[in-house]
Amino acid sequence: MSKILPALLLAVMLLHLIRPIGLPGLKRRADFWKIAVVAIVLMMLTVLIRP
């Protein structure tokens, strides 16, 4: 899971640069950094949850 999550989020960031997703807060191409912030937080949570 910890290796799939970064790859999935990186793919979402690349897709957002090509065509914005359109969710609230993600309407412009320049908003891809918000996905990166969420990715960092999710990876930190996975590290904390790991046994």
Residue 1: predicted pLDDT? 58
Residue numbers of the chain with a pLDDT score lower than 50:
none
Entry pTM? 0.66
Nearest Cα to Cα of residue 17 among 6, 9, 8, 28: 28
Q: What is the DSSP string of 1-51?
A: -TTHHHHHHHHHHHHHHHS---STT--SGGGHHHHHHHHHHHHHHHHHH--
Nearest Cα to Cα of residue 36 among 11, 9, 5: 9
Residue 48: predicted pLDDT? 92
Phi-psi region of 23 (alpha: psi -120 to 50; beta: other; left: phi over 0): beta
Residue 7: predicted pLDDT? 86
